[in-house]
């Protein structure tokens, strides 16, 4: 089990200054929105009313001193401890002062079935109670609108405070002193207090009873959800936390899955590799769906297929862009937000993502792979059939047309187009899986058609991506530089992992892209130079490849290293600095959490070894 976050502080007078930003953050959410909470119980990031909305709490990316956060502080802070209620998305933060007095902050976003649907309001619930003594606390609630540029107008009543902006209004319901909250006046905490922050609507019940009811129902939901997971024997706590984090990354209203909950956390210090990941990439979403499917959590796939069908049908059989807004928005213009200085002052802060304009040809394979299980899995409420297969064939036909054409590749290179091996590989996967689906549907003629295309593509890829100079499959047709994404060849069933060419490729990648256990993406310079940090999913691809070629002990050792690289709450961002071990890149990164699940499932001992 992951140890709780524990931080020590020297004795001091008064209230501590906010800690420097880090990615040691708890995540709460309910498949409608999320909030990131630092080790001292301070909400430092939350976009409302949904994942890609206005960050009303933006302290993670800086801004006006003390603004853009929701803090519940203890005077004379001495130590802090943070942990999740087991198998749930309910987060606890203990704060203790120098006199041994303590408080417990409980954070969650309500999620539970009610009236035949899931109740998931855009509401953050914060509950605080004394653990020992009657410590002095201070509540500081300073939302900002329009990316930090707009200070809200504040109005209040006997048990609520309204934060009014041009585009949205938030209402805090509380049984604490409204005056103390408005003035940020310290006060003695002698009883339980509750804070419910959400839309400008009244509560049906009392503040305390509503908070208690929401907490109990939310705990019950997550415990039941976790209980139904088909877990590997080993590393269960890590897998459960990864699975919950992936579930929290879904925008259930449409079925979209965000790549991460943040924007503009640099991939490496001072590099300007800062991107907005609060959107749905078809590539990332496929990997999320497949990982959860491996744990028998198919509900996320059913929701995602609803989103995917709308995205693909909207393309009318033509070009499909690699990412969309979570509401199926196609236009995501990229701009620089000048109001916020960025994570640790390392701007720019980007809003939107220019990659929506890219041609990334692996997308067609991701479409087919993301939908394939729906044709074979009899557990689904709405299994796919012949009509869905015919729609999916349009993606396959597009893959046939463009599989050997230059594109931006899965790493979204902005100034260089080539025939990327990974893109061609996924086009092959589209044809291969369509053939298998056709056989399941007893469509023999169509199966033969897709098998023919898959064979032809495979021959081209094996021939044109192989580099005699590097003795490895290269990043692109006719190229000699290396790219970790070719390891997917074994994972998607393109090549026998014991093929000497695959083994040689793995050796070459380890020699040229690895910094100890960690693996970088590629060895050629891109728009910003050569990558400096390890890309976590590449390390997990290496783990998978090692296991497939029989180097299981090495795979397990590297997996244990990656588990230690997580923050104390069990989560990973996009990148790991091989020297410092620090996390970089957007957070929490679905790709990375997928890697935890995949590695545990592949490497775990079987249940029949203990029962």
Tens-place pLDDT, residues 370-380: 999 999 988 88
Let me know whether 190 and 235 are in one domain. Answer: no
Residue 263's beta-bridge partner residues?
276
CATH code of residue 324:
1.50.10.10
Condensed to tens digits (0 to 9), the pLDDT of residues 246-304 reads 999 999 999 999 999 999 999 999 889 999 999 999 999 999 999 999 999 999 999 99
Rounded-to-integer distance, Cα 438 and Cα 446, Å: 6
Specify whether 236 is located in the same domain as 165.
no
Mean pLDDT of 406-420: 86
User: What is the residue range of 183's domain?
Assistant: 5-203
Q: Which of 203, 219, 237 is where one domain is finished?
A: 203
CA-CA distances (angstroms) from residue 291 to 229, 377, 392, 524, 585? 12, 15, 21, 30, 21
CA distances 10 to 5, 81, 86, 599, Å, are 17, 15, 30, 40
Compute the distance between CA of residue 574 and CA of residue 585 in angstroms, rounded to an integer. Answer: 5
270 and 333 both lie in a single domain: yes
Q: What is the pLDDT of residue 38?
A: 98
**Structural domain includes residue 62:** yes
Tell me the pLDDT tens digit for each residue of 425-448: 999 999 999 999 999 999 999 999
pLDDT digits (tens, 9 = 90+) for 564-575: 999 999 999 999
In a domain, 217, yes or no: no
For the chain, the average pLDDT equals 94
213 in a structural domain: no
Which residues contact residue 521 at a Cβ distance below 8 angstroms, ignoring those fewer than 6 apart? 411, 483, 484, 485, 513, 531, 535, 538
My answer on whether 137 and 240 are in the same domain is no
* 208, part of any domain: no
Confidence of residue 11 (pLDDT cuts 50, 70, 90): very low
The number of domains in the chain is 2
Q: What is the mean pLDDT of residues 137-152?
A: 97
What is the DSSP-derived secondary structure letter of residue 522? B
Q: Note whether 458 and 596 are same-domain residues.
A: yes
Query: Does residue 461 or residue 18 have the better pLDDT?
Result: 461
218 found inside a domain = no
* Percent of the chain residues topping a pLDDT of 70: 97
Q: Both 198 and 273 in a single domain?
A: no
> Within a domain: residue 209?
no
Least confident span in 11-15, 195-199, 428-432, 558-562: 11-15
Final residue before a domain boundary, out of 141, 168, 203 = 203
Contact 142, 69 (CB under 8 A): yes
| 415 and 455 share one domain | yes
Q: Give the mean pLDDT of 536-557.
A: 98
Average pLDDT over residues 204-229: 97
> Can you tell me the distance from the alpha carbon of 170 to that of 109, in angstroms, rounded to the nearest whole number?
15
- pLDDT reading at 8 higher than 70: no
- Tracing tokens 């071990």 back to the chain, one arrives at 581
Is there a single domain that holds both residue 324 and residue 190?
A: no
Residues 195 and 247 in one domain: no
Task: Decide if 311 is inside a domain.
Answer: yes
pLDDT, tens digit (0-9, with 9 covering 90-100), for 149-159: 999 999 999 99
Q: Please provide the size of the chain in residues.
A: 611
Q: What is the 3-state secondary structure of 385-448?
A: CHHHHHHHHHHHHHHHHHCCCCECCCCCCCCCCECEHHHHHHHHHHHHHHHHHHHHCCCHHHHH
pLDDT tens digits, 480-499: 999 999 999 999 999 999 99
For residue 109, is it within any domain? yes
Say what the pTM is: 0.95
203, 236, 267: which is the final residue of a domain? 203
* Residues 385 and 237 occupy one common structural domain: yes
In this structure, the answer to whether residues 125 and 44 fall within a common structural domain is yes
User: Do 186 and 137 share a domain, yes or no?
Assistant: yes
Written as one string, the DSSP assignment of 333-370 is --EEESS---GGG--PEEES-GGGG---TTHHHHHHHH
């Amino acid at each position: 089990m992951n140890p709780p976050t524990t931080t020590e502080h020297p004795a001091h007078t008064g209230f501590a200054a906010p800690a420097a930003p880090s990615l040691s953050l708890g995540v709460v959410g309910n498949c409608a929105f999320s909030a990131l909470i630092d080790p001292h119980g301070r909400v430092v990031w939350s976009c409302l009313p949904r994942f890609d909305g206005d960050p009303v709490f933006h302290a993670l990316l800086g801004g006006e001193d003390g603004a853009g956060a929701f803090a519940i502080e203890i005077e004379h802070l001495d130590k802090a401890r943070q942990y999740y209620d087991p198998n749930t998305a309910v987060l606890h933060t203990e704060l203790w002062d120098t006199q041994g007095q303590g408080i417990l902050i409980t954070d969650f976003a309500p999620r539970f079935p009610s009236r035949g649907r899931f109740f998931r309001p855009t509401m953050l619930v914060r509950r605080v109670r004394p653990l020992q003594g009657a410590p002095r606390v201070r509540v500081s609630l300073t939302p900002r609108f329009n990316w930090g540029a707009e200070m809200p107008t504040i109005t209040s009543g006997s048990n609520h405070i309204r934060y009014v902006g041009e585009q949205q209004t938030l209402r805090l319901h509380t049984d604490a002193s409204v005056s103390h909250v408005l003035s940020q006046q310290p006060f003695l905490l002698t009883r339980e207090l509750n804070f419910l922050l959400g839309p400008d609507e009244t509560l049906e019940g009392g503040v305390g009873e509503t908070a208690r009811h929401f907490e109990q129902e939310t705990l019950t939901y997550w415990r039941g959800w976790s209980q139904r997971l088909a877990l590997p024997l080993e590393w269960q706590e890590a897998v459960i936390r990864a699975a919950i984090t992936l579930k929290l990354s879904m925008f259930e209203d449409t079925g979209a899955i965000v790549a991460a909950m943040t924007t503009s956390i640099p991939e490496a210090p001072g590099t300007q590799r800062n991107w907005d990941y609060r959107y749905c990439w078809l590539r990332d979403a496929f990997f999320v769906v497949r990982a959860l499917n491996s744990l028998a959590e198919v509900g996320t796939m059913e929701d995602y297929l609803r989103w995917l069908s709308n995205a693909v049908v909207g393309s009318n059989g033509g070009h499909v862009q690699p990412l969309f807004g979570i509401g199926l928005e196609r236009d995501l213009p990229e701009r620089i937000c000048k109001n916020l200085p960025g994570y640790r002052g390392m701007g720019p802060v980007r809003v939107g993502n220019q990659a929506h304009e890219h041609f990334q040809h692996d997308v067609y394979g991701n479409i087919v792979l993301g939908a394939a299980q729906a044709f074979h899995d009899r557990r689904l409420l709405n299994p796919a059939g012949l009509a869905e297969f015919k729609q999916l064939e349009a993606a396959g036909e597009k893959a046939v047309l463009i599989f050997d054409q230059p594109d931006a590749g899965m790493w979204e290179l902005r100034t260089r187009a080539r025939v990327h091996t990974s893109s061609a590989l996924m086009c092959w996967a589209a044809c291969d899986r369509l053939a298998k689906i056709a056989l399941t549907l007893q469509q023999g003629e169509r199966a033969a058609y897709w098998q023919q295309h898959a064979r032809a593509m495979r021959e081209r890829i094996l021939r044109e991506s192989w580099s005699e100079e590097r003795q490895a499959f290269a990043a692109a047709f006719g190229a000699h530089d290396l790219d970790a994404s070719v390891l997917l060849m074994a994972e998607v069933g393109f090549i026998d992992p014991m093929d000497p060419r695959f083994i040689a490729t793995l050796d070459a990648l380890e020699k040229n892209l690895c910094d100890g256990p960690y693996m970088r993406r590629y060895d050629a310079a891109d728009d910003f130079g050569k990558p400096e940090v390890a890309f976590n999913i590449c390390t997990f691809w290496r783990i998978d490849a090692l296991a497939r070629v029989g180097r299981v002990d090495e795979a397990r050792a590297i997996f244990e290293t990656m588990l230690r690289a997580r923050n104390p709450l069990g989560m990973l961002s996009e990148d790991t600095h091989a020297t410092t071990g620090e996390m970089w890149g957007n957070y929490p990164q679905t790709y990375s959490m997928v890697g935890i699940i995949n590695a545990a499932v592949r490497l775990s001992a079987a249940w029949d070894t203990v029962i």
